[in-house]
Amino acid sequence: MNIADIATEEYIQVAVDERLGQVRALFERENPKGIVVTAEGDYEGVVTERQLLQSHVEDDAKVQVMVRNNVPTVERTDDVREVARMLVEGATKIAPVFDGGSLWGIVTEDAILEAVLENLDVLTVQQIYTEEVVTLAEDDTLGKAINHLREHGISRLPVVNENGRLTGMVTTHDIADFAVRTMERQRKGDRSGDTDRMLDLPVYDLMNSPVATVDLDDSVRSAVQRMLDHDYAGLVVTPDHDDGLVAGILTKTDVLRALTYTEKETMDVQITNITLLDTITREDIYDAITAVTDKYRDMQVQHAHVRFHEHKEKLRGTPLVQCQIRLRTNRGQVAGTGEGYGAETAFHVAVDTLERNVLELKGTRADAEYEGQVLRKLGEL
C-alpha cells in the first residue's frame, strides 16, 4: 500500500507573514494536526499546536519564527510502512506529500491508521503499549503540567488522586484552548486572566474527566477505533480491568511504530528526533544497544526505540538532551533514560541505565508464534 491511496489534497495553509495570533485561532477553530506554511506559494514547513504551546512568542510575531522545516516530506508513491517510520522518527503527526517536486497535499497519522485498521486485530494492547508514563497530582499546577510536557516531549498527562488512582487527563490541546480563551479575556481588559494566576491554577480545574481507558488484553484495532471515533491521541492502559489504576499509555505513535516492525534477523532500531544526532550515528546506537543485549543470550530484542528530546539549557553552545531507550523483547519491555550535553552523552548515560534495568528484568517469555503472526500480517500492508 502506498501513500497515494491515503494522502489528501485538503489541508490548512498560511503564509510566512501570518500573525501567530491568527494561527492559534486556526488551531482552536479547526483542530488540525498541523498547518502548512508557505512563502509566495512555495512550501516552507509546518507549524504544530505543541510548538505554539511550548513557545513564549507573542501573538503579533510572524509565523515564520515558528516554522518547523525539518518535518519529513514524502512522495505520493512512498510505502505506508516507511511513511509511518518517518512520522515516528520525525516526531510529527503530519507530513507534506510531494508529487513531481511540488507540494501536492498532506498525510496524517490518522489517515494511515484508518487505512490499516483491519490489520490491527492481530495485536493486543499489551504487546505495544508504553509502560513508562508521567502523571500529575490533582493539586499540581498548570505551570508544572506545561513543564512536564516540555521536558518529556509528550502531549498528555494522566492525573491521579492522593491514592494514586486515575481521576483525569490534561493534554496540550486542553492547555492551548485555555490559553487562547485567557488571552482573549486579557485583550478585552479582564485582568482576571493574568498569566501568573493561570500558571498557578491546579490541574484539577482544567483536566478532562472521566478518562478514556483501555485494558491490556483489548485488541489494538478496537483501541484505535475508539481513538479515531473520539479524536483521542492516546488512551490510558489499565490492568485487570481496573480503570482506577495506571499501567501505562497507548498512543497513536505506539501503533505507528508497530507498523514498522519487520521480520529481519537483525534488531530494528527506530530513532525519534533523529536530527538531534551530532557526534553519534544510527550505526553507533545500534552497536551500543546490541552490545548490551548480546550479554544476555536468552533475551531476544524485537524492536528498539530511541527518543531524543532537546532542552533549552546549553553548555558552551551544546544543548542539554534527554535520551530515552525502550526495548521490546521476548521477556517484556525494558527501558533506560539519561541526560547530557549533546545527544551522544545523553545516549551513553541512557545505555548505562538500560543495562542496569536489563539485569533486573523479570517476566514471562512471550509466545514466539506471536511475533511471526503479527509481522506477517503487518507485512501485507
List pLDDT tens digits, range 293-324: 777 656 677 788 899 988 889 998 899 999 99
The CA-to-CA distance between both ends of the chain, in Å, stands at 6
Buried b (16+ CB within 10 A) or exposed e, 67-105: bbeebbbbbbebebbebbbbbbbbbbbbbbbbeeeebbb
Query: Residue with C-alpha cell 486579557?
Result: 186
124 three-class SS: strand
Determine the pLDDT at residue 72. 84
Q: Which residues of the chain form CATH 3.10.580.10?
A: 3-119, 125-255
132 three-class SS: coil
Q: Cα–Cα distance between 142 and 182 in angstroms, integer? A: 13
The CATH architecture one would assign to domain 125-255 is Roll (3.10)
The CATH architecture one would assign to domain 261-378 is 2-Layer Sandwich (3.30)
Predicted TM-score (pTM) above 0.75: no
When comparing pLDDT for 278 and 217, which is higher?
217
When comparing pLDDT for 17 and 379, which is higher?
17
Q: Which residues of the chain form CATH 3.30.160.100?
A: 261-378
Alpha helices in the chain (DSSP H): 20-30, 49-54, 80-89, 109-116, 125-128, 142-152, 172-187, 195-199, 220-230, 252-259, 282-293, 343-360, 368-378
Q: Cα–Cα distance between 7 and 77 in angstroms, integer? A: 10
User: What fold characterizes domain 3-119?
Assistant: CBS-domain (3.10.580)
Q: Cα–Cα distance between 294 and 276 in angstroms, integer? A: 27
The grid coordinates listed for 183 are: 488571552
Mean pLDDT of the chain: 83
